[in-house]
Structure formats: C-alpha cells, structure tokens
Structure 1
Amino acid sequence: MTARIDPAAVTPELLGLTRRLGLPERDLVILAEGNTSELVDPTTMVVKASGSSMAEAGPEDFVSVDVPRLLELLRSPEADQHALTTALTAGKAGGRTVRASIESLVHAAVRAFGTARFVAHTHPTQVVALLASAEAEQAFAEPVYSEEFMILGRSMYVPYAQPGMELGRVFLAELDSYVQRNGELPSLVLLGNHGIVAISDTAAGAEAISLMAVKSARVRLGARAAGGVAPLSPETIAGYFDRPDFRERRATLAGTSG
C-alpha cells in the first residue's frame, strides 16, 4: 500500500510547523490550503491529508506515503490522475476517506534529489500577487537585500501547472535542471499563479524560508510603489556562498547542509 493512516508517525516538529504556518494572522493559507511533509525514513514521508486545516492539524490529519512508489508514478508515462488518487488513498477513518494531499508529488519530487527532512507548501497572498503578475518569472530572480539572499538562496521558478500529475511532472523536470546547474536543492520554489515551496532540513528553517518569502514580496511591492525595484548587483553578491560565515549563518537559519 502506497499510503496508510499512521498517527504515531507524526512528529511534534511536523505538527508544530504545520500549525504555525497555518496561523490566520500570517496569511500563508486559508481554509484547507497548503501542506507540509517530513521525511521520517529513507523511503517514507508523512504528508498532510487532503481537505484538512493546517492551523487545526492533529496527528490524524496526516498520511504516511511510500516515496519510491510516488516517484515511480511520476516517471511513468502511463500513470494518470486516477492512478495518483488511488496511490494517495490511505483508507477510511471517522466515516471519511483519508487521502494524502494531491500535491504529495511535489513533496516526493524533492526527495528524488536529496534527503531534505521538511517541505512546506503555502499560498501567501502577497507572494501569489507577484506570481500572478505579468512579471512573475522574474519577480524574485534577483535578491534585493542581503538577508533575503542568505535565507532564500537562489530561488527556483516553476510555471503554472495543474495540481496533481501535471504539476508533479513539471516540478520534477525543473528541479532536475536546477540541481544540475547548482549542485544542490533550492531552499525556495516559486510556483507561478500558485504559491511557494520551502525546503529545509529543519522545521525552523522551513518556517524561516516561508516567512522570508513573504517579507521579500512585501519589499518588492513597496519598492514598486516607491518608484521601482533596485536589486543587488551580481558583483555585490558574488562570492557570498563561498564565505564560511555566510554558509554557517545560512545553515543555522535556513536549515541547509552548510
């Protein structure tokens, strides 16, 4: 079975991260938007169930899924949305069908290239405003302040794709290209007309990335209102990733491998 109900597999770290990202005052998600996951062993991740609220999530609102099986579906030309729905269905509990999030393929795709422990997907209003604009692809292409670059690193943009098999496949292909270019996973993925994906080895890092993305959107929107965005020049940020102090601080705050 690809998916199963296993509340005991839900860690306090995953539960805490999910609830904090779901706080209404943070405006990252509303209703049943968003999802989080944790890689609990090399082949298993625990991901939020479809239709459940992040702010009110409990252990029963998560599903354990087999990562290799989802990656097999992603890479199979014959796999369709019905096959995905079947793979994500864990069974029934409390009179309802429990199914892992339709965006579980995004979480699985991340684990195809690394063992990042936490992945958090949210839909922050101000970030989505930029990702729904005519300049979406370039909106976050260049950093505009140093702390942003430290926490978010080199972000990755993914054009809009319908959630499910389509998004999963596009996400996997874009991630493959990114890793080949940069030799590592991105910390922040920007989904056109959709939302963001934060990738980190720590719950605190996934939260920091999510919140910094929101600040970065606010800064850009404010700069536009004040006459236009003036990004940091390539010369200014050249060599940042080669500096030990930069890598150490980034590892601490963003939960990277350093």
Structure 2
Amino acid sequence: MTAQLRRELVTDDLLGLTRRLGLPERDLVILAEGNTSELIDDDTIIIKASGSSMETATIDDFVAVSFRELLAIVRNPDATQDDLTAALSTPTGTRASIESLVHVATRAFGVRRFVAHTHPTDVVSLVASTEAATAFAEPVYSEEFMILGRSLYVPYAEPGIELGRLVLSAMEGYVAEHNDIPSLILLGNHGIIAISDTVAGAEAISLMAVKSARVRLGARIAGGVATLSSETTAEYFNRPDFRDRRAHLAGTEGA
C-alpha cells in the first residue's frame, strides 16, 4: 500500500490525544517534535505527518501507511533510508513521520492500538545523562510501576531506518525476557514512546514518565535516588488487583 492521505480514517481519539500531548504547558514537545499513531486494522497505521505540530494537528496532518510494508523494510538489511522515504511519501508529497518505523517496531511482537512518541524535557535530561541506561531501571514508587511497568531503554540511534532497527531488536529481547511488550520505551538522548490500547493509557504513560523523571531529579538534589528493588516488586504483576488497575490505567487490556 502506497502511503496515502486518508482523512476519513483519522479518528477523534487520535486527534485528541495528539493535541493534548502537544499542549505547551505539558512540555512534552515543541515546534514539530513528536508523533502519534493509531492501528486501524491489521495492516493500516495512521501516523502524524512529518513537520506538523502536535498541538495544532488536524485531519490533514496524518498519513496512512502499511504496517507490513514498513515492517519488511525494517527487517531487510539491504533496505536503505531512500527506500523508507519512498514508502512514507504520498503521491501529493506529504510524508509520514521519519520515525514511523518506531511505531511499526513497537507493534511487531504484540499489537497495541496507540503509540505516542514525545520529547519531554525532564525525561530527556535523564536519558541524555551518563546514567541514561539505568535511570529508570528500577521504579521509585509503586504508582509509577503500575503505570509504566518495566520500561525498555534503547540507546541513541539516528532517527529513521537505523533507529527502527534498533528498537525492533530491543523489543525482541524484551519480549523474550518478559513475554510481554513494554508500556514505555526510553530512547537515549532522544525521548519516550508510550504504548497502549487506549488513548487514556497512552496519555497516562506519557505524563507518568514526566513525573517519574522529576521525582528522580528532585531526589538527586535531596541526596540521592532510593529505588524500589526488584525483590520488592517481584510479585506485583502476579497480584490480580495490581494487574486489573494497571490494565485500566495504562491500557494493557490486550496483554
């Protein structure tokens, strides 16, 4: 399927999520940063167009792309950035986000309806630090763990085909270890990816990631970060009350 402008497929859910995450007071994105997507059917993803603002997005700022076509590109070692650009471009010249492969890679091992990619200042402060790989390795409070679950850290890669391949590889390792897909991916020196079956979940994950970054930065000022150990949280995912509340708040009903 050639990338297309399919205005009739842009849902109010996707449009509302995009605009809310783009609100300046939330400090998740500025200018044309960030992108969102919705899986419409087993092969159609609606994703924000390159160069458009999340805050002021309209139905004209989204492009329909083929999940299977883009997944084949990211899995093909001979595919190039030019191949990706061609697959993301509509006949009228509008192009889906260069980070579309990230949205594809997050769905390669388990389907979630919504994916939101933003660049929150406080989170980027941590993932651009010397402690980036471990900054979110352990939760610091229980509500954080309920919403974010076990996050996945991916080191920096150039946006486009290189980043898509790195996220795909990291996702494969995560799924093999946890038999699940993450709710939050932390991209080194870059930003975050929130993954959820619901709009409310994608928004909650994005905002909780910001709060969690602020808590860590504040704790450093107060003398250091005291995390919850893996021994403390080991049984959380086995508790029915924890799983039910997480499914409701983080939108993991499809897990």
TM range (shorter): over 0.9
* Residue 182 of structure 1, aligned match among 178, 181, 184: 178
- Whether 1:145 aligns to 2:141 is yes
Aligned residue in 2 for 1:49: 49
Whether 1:114 and 2:110 are equivalent positions in the alignment is: yes
Q: Give the residue type in structure 2 aligned to 1:208.
A: A
Check the 8 A contact 1:50/1:99 in 2, yes or no.
yes
Q: Indicate the larger mover: 106-115 or 180-189.
A: 106-115
Question: Does the Cα contact within 8 Å between 1:33 and 1:122 map onto a contact in 2?
Answer: yes
1:228 partner amino acid: G
Check whether the contact 1:42–1:115 (CA below 8 A) recurs between aligned residues: no
Map 1:71-220 → 2, pairs under 5 A: 71-92=71-92, 97-220=93-216
**Partner in structure 1 of residue 37 of structure 2:** 37
Q: Which amino acid aligns with 1:133?
A: S
1:2 to partner: Cα distance = 2.9
Matches of 1:91 and 1:24, distance apart in 2: 32
- Structure 1 residue 13 corresponds to structure 2 residue 13: yes
- Could you give the per-residue CA deviations for residues 227-257 of structure 1, whole angstroms, max 9, x where no partner exists? 0000012232120000000000000000002
1:251 aligns with 2:247: yes
What amino acid sits opposite 1:200 in the alignment? S
Q: Distance in 2 between matches of 1:2 and 1:126?
A: 37
Aligned-residue offset at 1:115: 1.5
Instruction: Encode CA deviations 1:55-100: one digit per residue, 9 max, x unaligned.
Output: 00000100000000000101111110111000000132xxxx2000
Counterpart residue type for residue 35 of structure 1: N
> Which residue number in structure 2 is paired with residue 58 of structure 1?
58
Contact kept? 1:14, 1:203, Cα under 8 Å: yes
Q: State the distance in 1 between where 2:30 and 2:155 align.
A: 23
* CA offsets 1:75-130 (integer angstroms, 9 cap, x no match): 111110111000000132xxxx2000000000011221112000000000000000
Unaligned runs of 5+ in 1: none
SS at match of 1:87: helix
Report SS of the residue matched to 1:37.
strand
Corresponding position: 1:28 with 2:28? yes
What is the TM-score normalised by the length of structure 2?
A: 0.98
Q: For residues 252 and 77 of structure 1, what CA distance do their matches in structure 2 show?
A: 39
2:207 corresponds to which letter in structure 1? L
Q: Is the contact between residue 91 and residue 99 of structure 1 (CA under 8 Å) also seen in structure 2?
A: no
Aligned twin of 1:230? 226
Instruction: Give yes or no for contact 1:2–1:69 (8 Å, CA) kept in 2.
Output: no
TM-score by length of 1: 0.97
Q: Which runs of 5+ in 2 are unaligned?
A: none
Q: Percent identity?
A: 69
- How many residues are treated as equivalent by the alignment? 254
